[in-house]
Homo-oligomer: A and B are copies of this chain.
Amino acid sequence: MTFDLLHTDSSARAGIIHTDHGDIETPIFMPVGTQGAVKAVEQRELEELGAQIILGNTYHLYLRPGVELLKTMRGLHRFMSWTKPLLTDSGGYQVFSLSDLRKISDEGVTFKSHLDGSAHFFSPEDVINIERAIGSDIMMVLDECTPYPCEHEYAKVSNKLTVQWAQRCQKEFHSTDPLFEHTQALFGIVQGSVFKDIRKESAEALTSQEFDGYAIGGLAVGEPVEIMYELTEFCTELLPVNKPRYLMGVGTPENLLECVERGVDMFDCVLPTRNGRNGMVFTRNGKMNLRNAQYRTEELPVDEVCECYLCKNFSRAYLRHLFQTKEILALQLASLHNLTFYLWLLKEARKKILKNEFSLWKKEMIAQCQSSNSTT
């Protein structure tokens, strides 16, 4: 994996990540395919809507289908018939948010499966080897994602462990080979909760180790949005310019644009698919909750300039009818549209960065996205 930074417009960046499964034009939004599938969206539809990379989750894929089957199938790309790049979250976040009775030691983390309560153990080395079996193009180190709020002392101790684990992950990464016929990259994860001194320690420790890219973790976990923006900016300024930066688990369209402005290149979030399944669609003219009665007779498409299958063929009234009648098709069409919108938004951001027009466009776009009257 290599990264070319093509252009900066103030702190906003346009670049290209080259992987053996193809290029990724940044800034990029990465649809979340936790268990080897993006919820309610077919792989061919992901390609159609312009997805350049999708996520898998190490914790979930380790539990199901399991490492042995992933090896038998020669990796997740082949298993799920996805030919473009894959990134795997390390599972650290899930171990801490989903599983019961987790117990952290220097050695790693013991946890019980959220599925059946069975006991498991992840060392940093284990996580690298699971990600080898998955065969993701971009692997993440094992980290502890601190909750919000979090005591300074806890965040400091936690980050010390996260940095140690990152070093062990990298050592394991360099002493093992990919299992399949493509290279894999490894990203470090900057933690430190809302404390700048710990974020600085974390970023310095990790950048001294030459990872292929750097993620910012432990944000968007409940803290005020202004703090999230401030810490994102603080972190990107500490990270090397020649490596991609990935802000984990963020966010709304507004969050994405604000953080692109602060130097972030990569994003993932369940919002477009999860909210889509709940009847909420994102458009250039604000959010709409299709369950609202106001859309009952609206013949307009969800977004008049959107090129997705939903917007080119169906009215708001029809999509509302599908939600009212609990049709699975509602989940499919709303997810498809929301991902199309998220991908479009960052593609458009990239164009504006390349023309040094990002800042003004961002302001207008955010104002549009926040407008409450979506009927044009």
Contacts and interface: CB of A to CB of B under 8 A. Distances in A.
Interface of A: 35-44, 60, 64-65, 69, 72-73, 79-81, 296-297, 299, 309, 313-315, 317-318, 321-322, 324-325, 327-329, 331-333
Contacts of A38: 329
Contacts of A314: 80-81
Contact of A332 (B36, B322, B332): B332
How many copies altogether? 2
A43 to B, nearest CB: 7
Given A42-B332, A64-B321, A315 B37 contact: no
Contacts of A65: 296, 317, 321, 324
A327 B37 contact: yes
A73 B322 contact: no
A317 B79 contact: yes
Top 3 nearest A-B pairs (CB, nearest first) are A40-B328, A35-B325, A37-B329
A360 B296 CA distance: 53
A36 B326 CA distance: 12
A104 to B, nearest CB: 27
Contact of A322 (B37, B315, B317, B328): B37
Contacts of A72: 297
A116 to B, nearest CB: 12
A319 to B, nearest CB: 10
12 contacts: A36-B318, A36-B325, A37-B322, A42-B309, A65-B296, A65-B324, A69-B296, A73-B315, A79-B317, A79-B318, A81-B314, A332-B332
A324 to B, nearest CB: 6
A333 to B, nearest CB: 8
A315 B70 CA distance: 13
Nearest to A333: B42
A35 B69 contact: no
B329 A69 contact: no
Nearest to A36: B321
A333 B315 CA distance: 25
A41 B42 CA distance: 11
A206 B299 CA distance: 41
A315 B73 CA distance: 10
A177 B241 CA distance: 71
A364 to B, nearest CB: 32
A324 B115 CA distance: 11
B44 A309 contact: yes
A317 B73 contact: yes
A342 to B, nearest CB: 19
Given A37-B322, A42-B329, A328-B40, A69 B313 contact: no
Nearest to A273: B328
